[in-house]
Amino acid sequence: LNELVPLFRMVYAHSEAKEIMESFPDAPTFSLYVTKRFVKEVRKRASKQSRQDASRVILDYLKEGSLGHDFMVALCILSQLKAARENLVQAALPSTLVKCMYLFTDLPDIAAAPSSASSASEAEAKAESFEGQYLVFMKLSLSLFRHVSAVLELVKTDNLAFLFRTITIKCSAQNQVWRKGAMDWLGLIARHCLNLDIVKYIHSKACIAHNVVCLQAMRKELVLLLEQRSSRGGGGGATGVLASGNIAASTGAAGYGDGGSAAAIAAAAAATAAGTASAAPRASDAAVEPSAAAASGADKDGAVPVMEMVQMCGVLFCLLQESGKFSKVLLDDYASSKGYELLVDLLVAFGASFCPHGALDVPECRQAEDAMRMLLSSVTELVFCGPVAVKPPATKVVPFLDATFKVPSPQNAGFNVRNPAAFQVLQSAFVQSRSPLVQECVLSAMLNIFSLDAANYFILEPLHTLALCIEKVDSLAFDLKELLFKILEFVVCSLNFVPFPALVSMSIQLKGSSRPQRSTAMLALRTMTKLVNFDARYRDVFREVGLLDILHDHVFSFDAGTQSYEGEAAVAAAAAAGAAKPSTLFSDGDVFMAHMDCLALLLHANPANVRLFRDSPAYAAVFRLVTMPPDDRVGHGGAAGGAGAGGGAGVGAGGAGGVAGGGAASAAHREVLRVARAPALNVVLRLISAGARQAVEDMGKLLEVLQGTPPDRIDLKCDILRTIQRTFVGGRSSGSKGGGSDDNSLAKDVFREAGGFVSVISVLVGLEGSFGGAADNSTASSSSSSRTLAAPTPAMARSAASPFGSPAAAGAAGASYVEPSSKLGLLRMIFQTLATPMSGHAQNVAFFREQIGYATLTESLRLLALISTPESADLFENLLLLATDTFPRRADSSFVRRSISGSPDPGFAGAGGTPASAIPAWSAVFEGGRPHASSAASTASYLTALSSTSASHRHQRSAAPPVVHAAAVCVALRLLREERDDTVVCSVLQRVLAVVVGSDVNKQRLSGVGVVALLLDLWLVEQRRNGDGAACTSQASIAAVSRSERTDLVAMKSNVIM
């Protein structure tokens, strides 16, 4: 036999099984004899010797060139034959191989340092021989353990337990290759040979429990090793990190991918394993315990065996996954032996090992990171492992859940949660670990599991995973917070479920004793906005979980801090009102804007939220925030006025004076002061637009702020007027019957009942004399020296000492200088605010005519001292736009002089108005703009140009804008008598005449209010002043129209005279 085996090896080394059977039919019988001889020789060498001696003798017997090696190669060839394979098993070859593997883990060191060149070559030859032995040994073993019969032989001889002990046995660095081979064997057995008998054996021998205990001991040694290396090497934080779990931020490596399936996870794990293959030999050079490493002469510090631990866990995972397809026995064994707790501890320990201040160098950190990713991949696969599908509860009782909602059934076979205990590993690892990389990988794995099947979230929902994770949100890095809120949005938007516990947890975090971080607040507010925009019911959900109350508290806290500039008195007042101490969180303009925008969104179209807000201290605080001065004014004011702390407190006229002075504002609030007004006005707009009974009160408070605004706060007045105009723009009320009521009409009623017309006229009165000293009128005066006008009003004389005078005069008066363009913008806003609520609202038109009166409007405009200034054309333009109700239906504070300077005003293109192209640009016939008439000749030439321009646009007569407020034309003509600029007079008269003769309706309306009489009066005044033969302005303007139009106008004059 000793001679036949080498010959057989030489002849059939490269032959296939079919060829062997054809040429050597007795090969199965031959295999029985060869196996028995091989087993006998191995056992003879292992008997009556120590483990080390036995392993050395057996390895010598199997070395290349020996008879034992020939026998082993021959058995490899024979193992291809099915008939021969049964003889190999019958002769107990599998048990013999397992015992050899167990002994080889205790081989003595064969890699002693060479003393000469010859010994070095000798050592190299030994290494090559050992590699050949190992390859043949593993090839024979793997060919056998693919078959159930070989594994059953191990069960019968009770040697399968030896194999489980081998993968966790402590061994030197050089022998770890044998332990790795044992892991390969068990993995092969798990994938190809598991059945109920084998599972029962593994359970009866407590193999799973034994391996878990060994791995737990290795984890403790890992922690101890890291602590020792940290203390010796001065690695600052590792000792404290591992003791307390306070881990610093990681290196920022990329987290676990957002794969869409478990296959993607497996592919990522395979890629990770492939990437670490080159590092595996270095990892295998380390001993499990420091003492063994020192004894073997390996790394004196003891290399961290993280990769070996993950490989051991991987073997167990493979057994659990394969057995879980038909039995739950091993899964129960793993749970009862605290295997899941071990996984949590390993993930936390791995996260500690690669922290930047830990005890590992860069290569070891990378290896620990790869190990962590592989472990997480295996845990994720374990979530889908189990013999029985777990079904979600049939119904869910959650507040505000849609009545038609149905819990989805599992659909994606193979990716349904079957093992919730494995998912709890991810949850616990996230909560316990302080490593950002571990937390990121865990969150990504959770999102992947939820997205693989809609039923997965509902199966795991009793664990309250989202709520527990959100409790840690403040301790997370920004990317992790973003990912966590992304999961929350996925549950709401993709699963259409209301995660009530998670929202309660978010509310608790935002309302905690310590203020939330800026990033937490911003992401939470962004998520709230997304959810409300996704489904309006979340306005009610956020109210019930307390998030609306938190927004109230935050707004009030900011207001209290700004009023006092962090003063002790205001802090005490805030505490007495139930608000927390102001925080630097609210000194961030972006955060404040996000708070206010989210608050406005929650108040929109939700009466319950509006009622709750009105009862909170934040209600009065919002009106105070409206009056926030710009940052350069903070600290210059006097005593603070404004609303009280209670929800029912009013806003006094003094409240518009701004924030309390007496001290410089902290730099922390300056950024917010620049942006506070707009979001506060947006909140007030939502309150007024709610349409409830308190809307009149809200409008009244806003009008009080408007009336109490100092004269130089033009920007505040414009913003308030713009907000009032926005209340008039609306659609249909969702709560109305019969198709809905017009929100626009309701807002106009609210404006009238709250005294809006009176307040706006008071703002106009507040501009008294504001234009008289702001411009040099010498040009206008010299160009019109031949005309006789009324003397300047007293208001014009007083304007020099107001904020509207020169910059020097404004500074002397203790106010800010206001640019003329700002005043003109405010004037335009006043006219728009008067016109909009009267548009299409007969009751408001009658109220303004009877209670306010156009005479009051005329006198208020006269007191502006704007007539005969370079800006007077803007006044008449606004009056004509008011008369025709052709203001743009938008809140625009900017004003561009168009009709006089050469471009048609877009106001005529408003709703119901004439297109801008139909209105002639009267001065476009001149190059370089309109002329300044300094003589009768220039005036006559200008009027001739007007006549030709009118003739060119005669076909547009039918497109003249209809007159809505005819009395406004009268106001313009009365004020025109005081105008000294011939150019303005000509232009205004021409515009008025075009409107008068533009349609029969306009003739009737204007005749009824005396417009023609005013024109005639203006003509007679100029005729008496300039002489009967002079070509006065009004005559020439009338002559500029066509013959038929002039006939109509003469008839109208006759009616007036009669």
Q: What is the pLDDT of residues 1006-1036, one digit of tens each?
A: 888 888 788 777 776 666 655 554 444 555 5
pLDDT of the residue at 289: 32
Instruction: Give the model confidence (pLDDT) of 937-972 as tens digits.
Output: 333 343 344 344 444 444 444 457 889 999 999 999
pLDDT of the residue at 350: 84
Instruction: Give the model confidence (pLDDT) of 648-700 as tens digits.
Output: 333 333 333 333 333 334 555 566 666 788 999 999 999 998 876 789 999 99
d(CA 73, CA 79) in angstroms, rounded, equals: 10
Dihedral sign for Cα 691, 696, 700, 706, please: positive
pLDDT of the residue at 882: 94
Q: Of 113, 324, 106, which is closest to residue 208 (Cα–Cα)?
A: 324
d(CA 59, CA 107) in angstroms, rounded, equals: 9
Per-residue CA distances from 631 to 209, 525, 595, 640, 682 (Å): 69, 26, 20, 16, 20
pLDDT(863) > 60: yes
Dig out the tokens for 378 from the structure.
């295996």
pLDDT of the residue at 118: 58
pLDDT(744) > 90: no
pLDDT of the residue at 729: 82
d(CA 260, CA 262) in angstroms, rounded, equals: 7
How would you label 71-96 residue by residue, b for 16+ Cβ within 10 Å and e otherwise? bbbbbbbbbbbeebbbbbbebbbbbb
Question: In the structure, what pLDDT confidence band is assigned to residue 1050 with cuts at 50, 70 and 90?
Answer: low
Query: Distance between alpha carbon 386 and the CA centroid of its chain, in Å?
Result: 37
Q: Of 40, 11, 42, 43, which is closest to residue 27 (Cα–Cα)?
A: 11
Query: Distance between alpha carbon 133 and the CA centroid of its chain, in Å?
Result: 60
Percent of the chain with pLDDT over 70: 67
Dihedral sign for Cα 885, 891, 894, 898, please: negative
Q: Which amino acid is at 45?
A: R
Dihedral sign for Cα 390, 395, 399, 400, please: positive
pLDDT of the residue at 204: 96
Which of 60-69, 249-258, 885-894 bottoms out in mean pLDDT, i.e. has the lowest?
249-258
pTM of the predicted protein model: 0.76
SS3 category, 742: strand
Dihedral sign for Cα 247, 249, 251, 252, please: positive
Per-residue CA distances from 34 to 17, 18, 42, 70, 79 (Å): 17, 20, 12, 10, 12
Torsion of CA 838, 843, 845, 850, to 10 degrees: -140
d(CA 732, CA 748) in angstroms, rounded, equals: 14
> Best-predicted range by mean pLDDT among 354-358, 689-693, 756-760?
756-760
pLDDT of the residue at 483: 97
pLDDT of the residue at 54: 93
Dihedral sign for Cα 562, 566, 572, 575, please: positive
How would you label 760-784 residue by residue, b for 16+ Cβ within 10 Å and e otherwise? bbebbebbbbbbbbbbebeebeebb
d(CA 267, CA 260) in angstroms, rounded, equals: 12
pLDDT(636) > 60: no
pLDDT(62) > 60: yes
d(CA 251, CA 339) in angstroms, rounded, equals: 29
Question: In the structure, what pLDDT confidence band is assigned to residue 309 with cuts at 50, 70 and 90?
Answer: confident
Per-residue CA distances from 502 to 78, 148, 217, 498, 521 (Å): 63, 49, 37, 9, 16
Q: Please say whether the beta carbons of 824 and 871 come within 8 A.
A: yes
d(CA 702, CA 705) in angstroms, rounded, equals: 5
Which of 62-71, 342-351, 371-380, 781-790 bottoms out in mean pLDDT, i.e. has the lowest?
781-790
Q: Of 374, 225, 230, which is closest to residue 298 (Cα–Cα)?
A: 225
Instruction: Give the model confidence (pLDDT) of 895-915 as tens digits.
Output: 223 332 333 333 323 333 333
596 versus 676: which is more confidently predicted? 596
Query: Distance between alpha carbon 901 and the CA centroid of its chain, in Å?
Result: 48
Mean pLDDT, residues 442-466: 96
Mean pLDDT of the chain: 75
pLDDT of the residue at 986: 84
pLDDT(498) > 90: yes
Strand-pair partners of 742: 732
Mean pLDDT, residues 789-801: 39
Alpha helices of 774-867 — where are they, by DSSP H?
A: 778-783, 794-798, 807-812, 820-838, 842-847, 854-862
pLDDT of the residue at 565: 37
d(CA 823, CA 835) in angstroms, rounded, equals: 18
pLDDT of the residue at 282: 30
Mean pLDDT, residues 7-33: 92
Q: How many residues does the chain have?
A: 1058
Mean pLDDT, residues 297-313: 62
Which residues lie below 8 Å from residue 231, measured CB to CB, with a gap of 6+? 239
Residue given tokens 């105009």 in the structure block: 725
pLDDT of the residue at 629: 67
* Angle of CA points 804, 805, 808, to nearest 5°: 120
Give me the DSSP letters along 977-1013.
Answer: TT---HHHHHHHHHHHHHHHTT-HHHHHHHHHTTHHH
For the chain, the distance separating the N- and C-terminal CA atoms, rounded to the nearest angstrom, is 149
Dig out the tokens for 388 from the structure.
């029985």
Q: Which amino acid is at 484?
A: L
Dihedral sign for Cα 113, 115, 120, 124, please: negative
320 versus 304: which is more confidently predicted? 320
Burial of 411 (0-12, 13-18, 19+ CB in 10 A): exposed
SS3 category, 891: coil
